[in-house]
Chain A
Amino acid sequence: MTPALRAPELMTTPAMLTMTAVSRRYGNVVALEEVSARAYPGEVLGIVGESGSGKSTLLRMMNLEETPDAGDYRLSLPDQPGNLFDLDRFARRMLCATRIGIVYQNPHLGLLMRNTSSGNVAERLLIAGERSFAALRSRARDALDASEFPLARMDARPVELSGGMQQRVQLAKAIALEPVLLLLDEPTTGLDVSVQALVLDTLKRLQRDRAITMVIVSHDLGVIRTMADRVMVMRGGRVVEEGLADQIFQDPQHEYTQQLVHAKL
């Protein structure tokens, strides 16, 4: 396993994720206005902002669930697929299934609630072409184990599990194919504080062990502070401030960032 890079080293390596001048409007509402973002290999990029600031829209763009009005999106992949927004539906689906993992705030968006937990993980593997039942079981078990899910319950249905366990199943599903990019959309919202801490611990361990590039969206500055190497602050569909996590939290420059940080503190 490659050890995760820390912030100062990050800037010297080519970015894993590069988004350039991405804009999106819904009628008269500006969801994103010329937003650019970079995430480096092994880095955790935190995106914070109030509700409606565009952070979840940006994450959906990164997961190719939406196409912007304008903009460019590239991942550093061996096959160099170019601007990912130009890919057709099939290529997008395969890329998302095999190279990008996502954990949603609402497990109903990410899981088949009436299938088994191991089946949810196996679905990813099946899309990628795995056709051996023994291999499906073994790889699903490994992914669930890596996300610290109790293996005795691997064939329980998510609908029978607690919120924290459902998030672990989502995480196992997201990492089953060892993605290059893991997107986390408010992964701990709605969980009680002790479970939040356990899920964050699991994420940090995964990030440390596997050096996955992560993008985490949250309105909870505590989560961002715990997880992120770099932070982007968004408001009204624009990036108002961006920098190393310590810098943002210790010395916020933008008035809105100052309000956010002080409101939290």
Chain B
Amino acid sequence: MTLASLTRPWEAMSYGFLDASAKRELRRKMLKAIAVPGCQMPYASREVPMARGWGTGGLQVTLTLLKPSSVVKVIDQGADDSVNAASIRSFLAKVSGARETWDTLAATLIQSRHRIPEERLRADQVLVLQVPNPEPLRPVEPNMSHARQMHADADYGRLWLILYEEIVRAGRIMQGAAYPALVNGRHVMTPSPIPRWDVPKLHMARHLTFLSAGREKRLFAVPPFTRVEPLVFSDLPYRVEDHAGLTCHRSGMKSFFMNEIPQADGGSAHELSDSHLGIKAIRQAEGGRAEIGPTWYRDGRMR
């Protein structure tokens, strides 16, 4: 027996960049997060070659889930071609050998900042959302120990009070993104700063969702077929952004979540926030091959 026979050849980094112990810890925490939907699990949050606040939490979860057969899609506010999304995607491919894609239907692992794709995700897909602030109680209780106790007691009265105050002062709920939602009837989570439009996509979804905050060192999960109910008063229904009547000026797609682009004449144009859906629509319109899968919304309404 020689030393060489007992060791592996030197490699620049572990498979999937993170070392085995980091991934082991993350897997344990991810399993716990699945077992208690919406409950925040603390984890060590290793250094990755990216600054905190740029998606390090999502990246660590994605790195842990990667395998050579993975097909990875990364989006930033719905766009596949932003610098941050492109950098993360190429990094993931480089450290794992996984294939890159822009197509939601082709992806097995989707890391996202602040959007959920418009095409309905399948049971074999995993969504990883980057979360800047995982604590929904932060606005009402800055002390983290007290906030943990409040979660333990399901003490969410002050969170409801924020909604009450917004209606009293503004006549409607002003919370645009990161709308608090009750998961599995027990824990309130912040579903990362996804727009209100996207929150219903998590309710009883077929896919598994992880939400991870690298800077805050906490992750939580929404397992498949789990109730995700936005906090709403019984006599004031939950409302998504009113984008039902908008049309994308590039692709002609209607009634999906749009980005507003100010125009020189003071007006606004709109384009699909889910950029690759728009690309596929343009390809189809030009007679090319592009498959658009079933979407969560039809005519601006959740199906």
- Is A50 on the interface with B (CB-CB < 8 A)? no
A133 touches B164 (CB 8 A): yes
Cα-based distance from A134 to B233 in the complex (angstroms): 9
* A133 with B235, Cβ < 8 A, contacts A116-B165, A122-B161, A126-B164 known: yes
Q: Mark A93-125, 1 if CB is under 8 A from B, else 0.
A: 100000000000000000010011011001100
Cα-based distance from A126 to B153 in the complex (angstroms): 14
Q: Which residues of B contact A155 (CB under 8 A)?
A: 168-169
Main DSSP-derived SS at the B contact region: helix
Cα-based distance from A127 to B161 in the complex (angstroms): 10
* Nearest residue, chain A, Cβ from B156: A126
A131 touches B233 (CB 8 A): yes
* Nearest residue, chain A, Cβ from B159: A126
Closest chain-A Cβ to B231's Cβ sits at a distance in Å of 9
Closest chain-A Cβ to B150's Cβ sits at a distance in Å of 10
B164 touches A132 (CB 8 A): no
Cα-based distance from A119 to B167 in the complex (angstroms): 11
B167 touches A133 (CB 8 A): yes
- Is B236 on the interface with A (CB-CB < 8 A)? yes
Cα-based distance from A225 to B99 in the complex (angstroms): 83
Within 8 A of B (CB), among A139-182: 155
Cα-based distance from A115 to B158 in the complex (angstroms): 10
Q: Mark A188-216, 1 if CB is under 8 A from B, else 0.
A: 00000000000000000000000000000
Q: Which residues of A contact B149 (CB under 8 A)?
A: 89
Q: Which residues of A contact B234 (CB under 8 A)?
A: 131-133
Number of interface residues of B (CB under 8 A): 17
* A119 with B155, Cβ < 8 A, contacts A131-B233, A132-B235, A134-B235 known: no
Main DSSP-derived SS at the A contact region: helix
Q: Which residues of A contact B167 (CB under 8 A)?
A: 133
A89 touches B164 (CB 8 A): no
B160 touches A126 (CB 8 A): yes
Closest chain-B Cβ to A115's Cβ sits at a distance in Å of 6
A132 touches B165 (CB 8 A): no
Among B157, B167, B234, chain A packs the most CB atoms within 10 A around the CB of: B157
Cα-based distance from A136 to B149 in the complex (angstroms): 26
- Is A90 on the interface with B (CB-CB < 8 A)? yes
Q: List residues of chain B with CB under 8 Å of any chain A CB.
A: 149, 152-153, 155, 157-158, 160-161, 164-165, 167-169, 233-236
Q: List 12 A-B contacts (CB under 8 A).
A: A90-B152, A115-B165, A116-B168, A118-B168, A119-B161, A119-B165, A122-B164, A126-B157, A131-B160, A133-B235, A134-B235, A136-B233
Q: List residues of chain A with CB under 8 Å of any chain B CB.
A: 89-90, 93, 112, 115-116, 118-119, 122-123, 126-127, 131-136, 155
Please give 4 more A-B residue pairs, beta carbons under 8 A apart, in addition to A119-B168, A136-B233. Answer: A89-B153, A116-B165, A126-B157, A126-B164
